[in-house]
Amino acid sequence: MTDGAHVVVGGGPAALAAADSLGRAGAAVRLHLPDRGIGAGFRPLTIEGRHLPLGFRVLELVVDQDHPRTPPPWSEYEPSVHGHRNWLGLLEDWFRELVGDELRELSRPEMVLDGRRGPDIYYCVDPVNAVAIATPADIGTIAREASKAADELGAAGPFDLPEAEHWNLDFDAVSRRTHGQRFHELFIEGPARKVTSDGIRDVSLALRRKPWMPLFWPSTLAEAFSGATPRWRPTHRRFHDCGRTNVVDELLSRLEASSDVTIVRSGPLLRVRRSGDHTSLRFADGTEVSATQPILAVSAEELFDAAGAEYRPERHRVVVAWVEADEADVVSTTDCLMPVDGDDPVFRISTGGRPAEGAVLFTVELSHVVDAGAAGSVALDGLERLGLIRPGTGRLLHAVAGPGPQRPTRTTHRQWRHAASRFRERELRAWVLGGAGTFGADSLNEQIAQGLWAAELSHQGAAPPANHEVAAI
């Protein structure tokens, strides 16, 4: 430690949650923040007083009845893509304590295909909803193909395999075999092509939720499209957001007000080395720190580079536009709407953020092929064409295009494993959180869980695990 303080490095939710938890427990904390990029994509843009969300950001605080509302001790937690699931009750209480009544349950997400609109299948993971927007011909084809898949693969299909095996399976190939070709073309491949030209080819099955493409039981799909009542379907999935407030800003405000937390704007981490029982850190502003078991919650690229293990993952291209319309000009609204048609340039539309008084703010995520200069007009056209606003009434506030999240492919994973292996050779005595510790563990839920976990065990004096990469991968 430095001056007896716990050292926390990073500006994402995991770092902020760890520093906040330690400070609230009465521990002295030195939080080293970057000079830009605080929030790691979970903090909205602020333009002319509006808060513009960087896409549809939701919290899964109730998934199904198998996850306890009374959590196990943090000593049983293991970081992974879904490691937070048994702590959902604790996370719900944590978010509610942070943002109060702003924590709200969202309406059911929706999807639309050829003008037919209904409840979605992507977030609720319920394929029964797809029947209502499919044509009679497609319903018959999907029923036959899914029935054949269920006969060949069993009722649960790949879900009967150990989850560890999912990491080495190609989602595209598994989806075609499990769902049948027609369902895959309509509901999986079409939307996925808007994220990347390769769709979900080479995407690891374990990371299928990264582009928000689910995998369904073949028996549930076959029964639903055959007109039967599925023997199993998910019914407990619900979603929340933090309303007009923001988790990152709320945490920063609480940290700035804490007498136990010292915030240092050090810029990026440039070097990390082991020095005896300590970890030596050097930052862009020249600050050097020698710390015992620091909490390092920076990106995999930054941390691996600082340790001399270069990592340059391929990233999605994202295109987002924000449109505001007066409430009187909004024809229809929804918390989330996904156009299924692969040729529709709109990937996803959501509402939220902080618009002007009496207005609704639409965040329109577009296909990766949309030109940056055309993003605004494509978003406005989409809102009108899909029947959300009256023609000519939308006001474009802002649009951006550029690199986004790393692609959740097996190729990227292999690159990560190579860099992570070199990083582990440094034998640092540190808590490593987020994507540098576990590939793909970057959801808001998982980041908060990791921050709370590291803070709790660090405060107890526990040593960080030597390697908390998911053992299966």
Per-residue pLDDT of the chain (473 residues; tens, 9 = 90+): 455 789 999 999 999 999 999 999 999 999 999 988 899 889 999 998 899 999 998 888 876 666 667 889 999 999 988 889 889 889 999 999 999 999 998 888 999 999 999 999 998 889 999 999 999 999 999 999 999 999 999 999 999 998 889 988 999 999 999 999 999 999 999 999 999 988 899 999 998 888 788 999 999 999 999 999 998 887 667 888 898 899 999 999 999 999 999 999 999 999 999 999 999 999 999 999 999 999 999 999 999 999 999 999 999 999 999 999 999 999 998 899 999 999 999 999 999 898 999 999 999 999 999 999 999 999 999 999 999 999 999 999 999 999 999 999 999 999 999 999 999 999 999 999 999 999 988 889 999 999 999 999 999 999 998 754 533 34
Instruction: In whole angstroms, give the CA distance from residue 213 to residue 193.
Output: 11
* Residue-level pLDDT at 52: 94
> Do strands 359-366 and 395-406 pair parallel, antiparallel, or not at all (unpaired)?
unpaired
Q: Residue 219 and residue 153: Cα distance in Å, rounded?
A: 9
Q: What is the pTM of this model?
A: 0.93
Beta strand 269-275 pairing with 278-283: antiparallel
Distance CA 1, CA 6 (A): 6
Contact 148, 180 (CB under 8 A): yes
Instruction: Select from 351, 383, 323 the least CA-distant residue to 107.
Output: 351
Q: What is the torsion angle, in degrees rounded to the nearest 10, for the CA atoms of residue 213, residue 215, residue 220 and residue 223?
A: 60
Q: Which of 446, 413, 433 shows the shortest CA–CA distance to 293?
A: 433
Pairing of strands 395-406, 336-339: unpaired
- Among candidates 289, 295, 313, which has minimal Cα distance to 420? 313
H/E run at residue 414: helix 410-424
Structure tokens at 350: 């959501």
Strands 315-326 and 395-406: antiparallel
| pLDDT value of residue 209 | 81
Element (H, E) at 316: strand 315-326
pLDDT recorded at residue 470: 37
The residues, ordered by sequence, that sit 6+ positions from 222 with a Cβ below 8 Å of its Cβ are: 143, 146, 147, 149, 150
Structural Rg of the chain based on CA atoms? 23
Gap between the terminal Cα atoms of the chain? 32
Give all strands of the β-sheet with 116-119 in edge-to-edge order. Answer: 116-119, 110-113, 336-339, 346-351, 359-366, 315-326, 395-406
pLDDT of residue 1: 44
**Cα–Cα dist 172/245, whole Å:** 37
Q: How far apart are CA 108 and CA 352, in angstroms?
A: 14
Query: What is the predicted pLDDT for the residue at 64?
Result: 64
